[in-house]
Structures are given as structure tokens and as C-alpha cells.
Amino acid sequence: MIGLVAVTGNGARNARHLHSSWSDARLYEGNVRESLSRAWSECDGIVLFLATGAALRLVSGLLGDKRTDPGVVTVDDGGRFAVALCGGHEGGANGLARRVADTLGAEPVITTASEAVDLASLGSLGDHLGFVAEEGSDLAAVGRALVSGEEVRLVSDARWPIGPLPDNVVRGGLPDDGAPAMIVSDRLEEFPHPSVVYRPPSLVVGVGCSRGAPAEEILNLLRFSVREAGLSERSIAHLASVEAKRDEPGLREAAGELGLEVRFHPAEVLSEIEVPNPSEAAMRAVGTPSVCEAAALAGGGELIVHKRKSANATVAVARKPVRGRLYLVSLGPGEDDLIPPLARKALARSDLVVGLDQYVDRVRHMLRPGTRVETPPLGSEVERAEMAISEARAGASAALVSSGDIGVYAMGSPALEALGGEEGVEVVSVPGITAANAAASLLGSPLGHDHCSISLSDLLTPWEAIERRIEAAGAGDFVVSFYNPRSRGRDWQLGKARDILLDYRPPETPVGLVTDAYRPTEKVKLTDLGSLRLEDVDMLTVVIVGSSQTRLSGGRMVTPRGYSL
Ligand code: SAH
């Protein structure tokens, strides 16, 4: 819960705005000192609409332990700045300042040191992979070392696709000389100090139980087995069991207590998995010789705790294989503001970025120091895909970038074809605004009813197939977006496409030509099918031909939602 405390009229107006926009905010009204101390005990974060000086005086009497105090953000009377005053990392004030800034259109002010090294924060390293920093980690000491450029050791049993790190972070074994370390491990060990220990979601606990097994018994067996094997409970990614146990109350309750999901697998799948301790009883009861061991292993990996039993439950633990990441990143048509926020995140987390020169250039300023960039020339799609895939296969994170949407006439399909069913690589796709959508927004609303896209490039597709599709689009009365309409070597295809469509719709049918949408060189032209001039079109144009219903309204191209025939 986020507490909002305001004093002045302006402050109260901004507080009310946050209150009406956020579902987790509560307004505290009345005496400011009392409101603040109530909010202090009831909330995880507090937004104080006060000058920092006044806020400091009020907050100072309440400060206790920074691990448990709420994060505090102050906002000036003009609503221009959201200052993370205290509890930046642990209290979440940095994130809260950004949220406040987003909603009020203010500037977030964040002063904690690790921000300066461009790591979102040491504590949130790998949070996109599900890492959690262990309580009691020396965040401040390691953070200081990181910012001051001192060598910090990165120790990890497996290579996780964390993304680029500052160059004073060096991979290696545990330091024995007191050097600061960042340790990624699921093992319960006495690690040297100063260090930050990250718990990766690397373990799967398979659980079997008889009907009516109490949650407490399952939990006790699970916790005992994990701890005895020297493993951290915080590294459990999820539980796993057999489909027949989906409604077993004890198992559900145990998972709820741990805050974990249970993945249920069909008995036929589990019975195919080879395990060290199969049992006849399990076979009779649920149709697979193993529940806990097979379920733990169902996602691949290695069994590290064999079956353990209590009266009504069994558990086994597997360590999942670590997978590298392949990001398929769409950059939108051209303008920075149309680059999806998820694309920015993916790029900041990529060790390697692969794409055509002109696309990579658009995002270079978003890459973290240490990111490698490869820009093989046009015409080498397979080579580009292979470059990124082999990086991901080695456990790193690699991004393939395309303009528009990466799934539309771009690198998405060659990359996924090259990857096939390879399990060692996780694919994360970021969708983007494709040329047809970008052009449509500049023309009006031409895609308001059924539409299709056709590429006029016959380099990879036989012209007969393209022609058949244009005929079909004509017969079906689809609005058509033509991609790759014309290039120096391909100058007749668009004329032919126009002639085919003229068999189906009148010459007055509106046509929009958009070249370089959302780039400084953007050109937008409205014409009609009868007067479409090929010389207005080049390789960077998308041509949108209306259906028989498309018309101009106020100078804009509109395809009505409802056909009134
Ligand atoms: N993946 C891209 C399409 C690549 S095919 C996307 O989703 O947009 C290349 C064709 O897309 C070009 O020949 C042109 O027809 C169209 N195109 C790409 N970017 C464009 C832009 N900014 N303005 C107009 N057309 C564009």
C-alpha cells in the first residue's frame, strides 16, 4: 500500500490524482504529523507532498531500520520533481519516485550510488530472470566497490543471461582475499564477505502425496529435504506434480504458503521419464511409476535430491538447466518514442546485439557499456540469426533487432526456424509497430475493417504466388498494405498489382503512400488507384490501397467499421 500525505492545496490535488489513478494508494488527511506516522506503520511506501526540508524534519523522528522502513518520496508543490528521499533500494523509493513521476509528468530524482553505474540497482540484478538478493547481503559495500571501479568478482555455478555488467565486474571463483563479490548460487553456504548473494530460480521440487495429506506434512518434508541437501528454499522456481493431484488441498495449501506455482504433468508424460526410484504403488495409484522424481525432472535438468518420504508425502529436487536468452526485438518504424519500452529493457539486458547497421544505430544509445554489436550486411539473414543463437546457446543473452515488427517480413521467422526445438535457449519476443500500422495512423484509419498485407518482393516468393494473393485480396475486398512495393531492380510489380486490383474496385479507390513513416524524411501522400504514380513509391514506402468501402473523410483515409451495403 502506498500512503499519500499532502498539506497544501496543490499537494492535495496531486495526491488525489495519484489516488484516483493507482489501485494501491491510500489518502491520509488531517494533521500531517499524525497522518505520516499512521502511514509509516501501515504502508510500504509514502509520497509526501512537501518540500524536502520540511519532509526531512517530519521523517527523521520515524526512521528506524532501512530494511523495514517504508520508502519515502517527496513531491514539490509545483509537482515538478519526485525525489526518492530515503529507502531508495530496500524501501522501493527509487521505483516509487519513477511511478509518481510517470503519473504526474514529473522528473524522478534518484541519488543512490548504484544508479550511477547504470545498473538499475545492485539489489535488482537479474530480477528479470527471477533472482532475489539474499537478506543480509552487503549491498552497500559491494555497491560502493562497484561504483568506485574496484574489481568485483562475479561467482556463478552456471552462466545466467544476466546481460552486460560494468567492466570492473570479473567472472571467477570465490575470492579468498576479502575482495567484494556478487554470488549467484542456490546453495546454502557461508559465503565470504563483502558479498551480495543472489538466489536464482534454479530448483524444481517434485511432490507426490496421498489423498488428504496435510499441508504441514508436505511443507515439513519439503523444507527439511531442501535444507538438508544444502539448498536455499528461495531458489525453488516452482513445484511439480502429477495431473491427478491438481485438486489436492494439502498440496495447494503448501504451495500457497511457499508462494509458488505447482506445474501438473499428465501421468503418461511422467511415466516416460527415467528415474532412480520407481514404485509399483505409485503406478497403481496414479498410473506412473514415479511422481516426485519424474515431476521434478519433467522440465529437464538433473536430479539432486532423490525421493524422500514421510507417511503421506514424497519429494525430490531437480536443478533446471540454465537457458540462454534470445530476444527478438522490434524497434518500430523510426521514432525513438515508438520504440517499445520492453525493447529498451531487452536491449539493456543483451550481451550481444545483432542487426542491420541502420537499425542498430537507432538504438546504440540504449545499450549498456560492454554490449557487443554485430552488423552483418543485408542479405545475410541466416548468418545474423546464427550469430545471435550461438551466443544464447552459450548461456548469454543476445538480441536480434528489426525495424517495425520483427515478426513481419523480418528476422523473427528465420531465427525461429534456425533455432528449431532447441531447449537450451529461451526466446523472448518484443512486438512492435509495423509499417502498415504506422502508415495507417498517418493516413487516417484505413485499416478500420478487414485488411491484409502483401509483400511485392519476388526475390524469395514466385511472382505467380504473389499475383494469386493480390487476386484473392481483390475478390475478398480487403484493404491491402503493400510492403516492399518497388526497388531499383523491381520496378513493374506495383503497376501490375494496381492493374489487378482495378479489376475489382473503381479507379477512385483511395490509396495512401507513406514513405519513411515516423522518420525525419517522412512523406505522406493520398491518391487513388487510377492515378497511382509509381515514381512516388520507393523501397521505403508502404502502399495502402483501400477496399471498395474506403473513403475520404475530412481529408483522411477511412475504412468504415460497418459495411453498409
Ligand atoms: N519488419 C518491418 C518490415 C520490413 S520489410 C515492419 O514490420 O515494418 C521492408 C518494407 O517495410 C519496406 O519496403 C517498406 O514497404 C516497409 N517499411 C518499413 N519501414 C517503413 C517506414 N518507416 N515507412 C514506410 N514503410 C516502411
pLDDT tens, 85-127? 998 777 789 999 999 999 999 999 988 765 554 444 677 788 8
Question: CB neighbours of 233 closer than 8 A, spacing ≥ 6?
Answer: 223, 226, 227, 258
* Sheet architecture: strand order including 107-109: 25-28, 2-6, 45-49, 71-75, 81-86, 107-109
Cα–Cα distances in angstroms (integers) from residue 165 to residues 253, 291, 502, in the given order: 40, 41, 58
Q: How far, in Å, is the centroid of ligand 1 from the Cα of 412?
A: 14
Distance CA 349, CA 156 (A): 17
Residue 118 confidence (pLDDT): 43
- For ligand 1, say whether the CB of 439 is within 6 Å of any of its atoms: yes
Q: Which of 384, 433, 541, 543 to mutate to test the pocket of ligand 1 (most atoms within 8 A of CB)?
A: 541
- For ligand 1, say whether the CB of 459 is within 6 Å of any of its atoms: no
Q: Which of 384, 403, 516 to mutate to test the pocket of ligand 1 (most atoms within 8 A of CB)?
A: 403
- For ligand 1, say whether the CB of 484 is within 6 Å of any of its atoms: yes
- For ligand 1, say whether the CB of 482 is within 6 Å of any of its atoms: no
Q: Which of 542, 543, 544 to mutate to test the pocket of ligand 1 (most atoms within 8 A of CB)?
A: 542
Give, using CA atoms, the residue closest to atom 17 of ligand 1. Answer: 435
Does 564 score more than 80 pLDDT? no
- For ligand 1, say whether the CB of 404 is within 6 Å of any of its atoms: yes
- Tell me: the pLDDT tens digits for 24-39? 999 999 899 999 999 9
Q: How far, in Å, is the centroid of ligand 1 from the Cα of 409?
A: 8
Q: How far, in Å, is the centroid of ligand 1 from the Cα of 543?
A: 10
Does 204 score more than 70 pLDDT? yes
Give, using CA atoms, the residue closest to atom 4 of ligand 1. Answer: 409
Question: CB neighbours of 494 closer than 8 A, spacing ≥ 6?
Answer: 456, 482, 485, 486, 532, 534, 537, 543
Q: How far, in Å, is the centroid of ligand 1 from the Cα of 406?
A: 11
Confidence of residue 555 (pLDDT cuts 50, 70, 90): very high
Q: How far, in Å, is the centroid of ligand 1 from the Cα of 346?
A: 22
Confidence of residue 423 (pLDDT cuts 50, 70, 90): confident
Confidence of residue 285 (pLDDT cuts 50, 70, 90): confident
274-278: Cβ within 8 A, 24+ apart: 275/303, 275/307, 276/303, 276/306, 276/307, 277/306, 277/307
- pTM, two decimal places: 0.80
Q: Which of 461, 540, 544 to mutate to test the pocket of ligand 1 (most atoms within 8 A of CB)?
A: 540
- For ligand 1, say whether the CB of 403 is within 6 Å of any of its atoms: yes
- Tell me: the pLDDT tens digits for 440-478? 999 999 999 999 999 999 988 999 999 999 999 999 999
**In the numeric block, which cell numbers belong to residue 225?**
529435504
> Mean pLDDT throughout 414-430?
94
Cα–Cα distances in angstroms (integers) from residue 354 to residues 147, 379, 414, 556, in the given order: 29, 14, 14, 38
> Mean pLDDT throughout 301-313?
96
> Mean pLDDT throughout 270-284?
91
- For ligand 1, say whether the CB of 381 is within 6 Å of any of its atoms: no
Q: How far, in Å, is the centroid of ligand 1 from the Cα of 425?
A: 28
pLDDT above 90 covers a percentage of the chain that reads 78
Distance CA 59, CA 397 (A): 42
Confidence of residue 131 (pLDDT cuts 50, 70, 90): very high
Cα–Cα distances in angstroms (integers) from residue 113 to residues 110, 117, 140, 154, in the given order: 9, 8, 9, 19
Q: How far, in Å, is the centroid of ligand 1 from the Cα of 500?
A: 23
Q: How far, in Å, is the centroid of ligand 1 from the Cα of 560?
A: 25
Q: How far, in Å, is the centroid of ligand 1 from the Cα of 341?
A: 20
Q: How far, in Å, is the centroid of ligand 1 from the Cα of 470?
A: 19
- For ligand 1, say whether the CB of 409 is within 6 Å of any of its atoms: yes
Report the 10 Å Cβ neighbour count for 338: 18
Omega within 30 of 0 (cis) for the link into 194: yes
Output 356 or 125, whichever has higher pLDDT: 356
Residue 143 confidence (pLDDT): 84
- For ligand 1, say whether the CB of 434 is within 6 Å of any of its atoms: yes
- For ligand 1, say whether the CB of 524 is within 6 Å of any of its atoms: no
- For ligand 1, say whether the CB of 350 is within 6 Å of any of its atoms: no
Residue 114 confidence (pLDDT): 56
**In the numeric block, which cell numbers belong to residue 330?**
522490434
Give the amino acid at 146. Answer: L
Q: How far, in Å, is the centroid of ligand 1 from the Cα of 517?
A: 9
Distance CA 139, CA 134 (A): 10
pLDDT-wise least confident of 124-128, 212-216, 414-418, 526-530:
124-128
Would you say 244 and 357 are in contact if contact means Cβ atoms under 8 Å apart?
no
Residue 111 confidence (pLDDT): 85
Give, using CA atoms, the residue closest to atom 13 of ligand 1. Answer: 484
Q: How far, in Å, is the centroid of ligand 1 from the Cα of 469?
A: 19
Residue 310 confidence (pLDDT): 95
Q: How far, in Å, is the centroid of ligand 1 from the Cα of 476?
A: 24
